[in-house]
Amino acid sequence: MAVRTIDVRERVLAKNDEIAAAVRHRLQEAGVPSLNLVSSPGSGKTLLLERTLADLGRELRIAVVTGDVQTQNDADRLARHTDRLVQAVITGGACHLDARQVETALDAMDLANTDLLFIENVGNLVCPASWDLGEDAKVVLFSVTEGEDKPAKYPKMFRQSKVVVLTKMDLLPHVPFSVERAVSHCLAVNPDLQFLFTSAMEPNGMDEWYGFVRSRARGRQPA
């Protein structure tokens, strides 16, 4: 008789996918688009959200769930820019958020009065690629201070994402980074990627991102 060994991780992922499907249904029923922000550590997720909350927070009703390994520092930074609840998930060493954590966070949200949900994942390009959180889309941030071949090194994350946000564009004159080569590496992994170019330090450096955010929130449509 044949024997099949089921890996514990396989069972956990299957359960996560089940919960993620419920989260996705719940958000869609409420008409709330959701974006899962993923990146390497230090690529600028928190600063991007700080600027977004500060500049669009009165225009759009934005909810945020933010994950970190040990502290709630990122959540504290974001909470200074909004009067809405920012939910901090401290993973205690885990390198990603999971769907159960997002499901729990939804219980504290007024979804009827929410235009858009941001999930700021743990800074890691490996683990979060395998975990569905029930989001409409993964948005991967890619800083010009990183290697241009990041997509080739971490292809699953870029295959799973729908949007690439190039961050810290103001530093281009000071770093050996080719935007053209970076985009080429991205498209080699996923030819359907959408690209946005940002600098949180420049007055108009967030315009492309803000246009994208407005289109998702106002249209209440998946990314």
Q: Which of 90-99, 115-124, 178-187 has the lowest mean pLDDT?
A: 90-99
Tell me the mean pLDDT in the region 28-37: 97
Q: Which of 1-10, 36-45, 172-181 has the lowest mean pLDDT?
A: 1-10
CA-atom Rg of the chain in angstroms: 17
Q: Which domains does the chain have, with CATH numbers?
A: 32-219 (3.40.50.300)
Mean pLDDT over each residue of the chain, to the nearest integer? 92
- 219, pLDDT greater than 80: no
- 122, pLDDT greater than 90: yes
Distance from C-alpha of 22 to C-alpha of 211, rounded to nearest angstrom: 29
What is the structure's pLDDT at 3?
Answer: 55
Distance from C-alpha of 43 to C-alpha of 177, rounded to nearest angstrom: 14
The set of residues, in sequence order, having a beta carbon less than 8 Å from that of 49 and lying 6+ positions away, is 37, 64, 66, 78, 118, 120
Distance from C-alpha of 17 to C-alpha of 134, rounded to nearest angstrom: 8
The CB-side HSE value for 60 (13 A sphere, CA atoms) comes to 25
| Higher pLDDT pick, 186 / 10 | 186
- Give me the amino acid identity at 162: K
- 153, pLDDT greater than 70: yes
**Residues comprising the chain, all counted:** 223
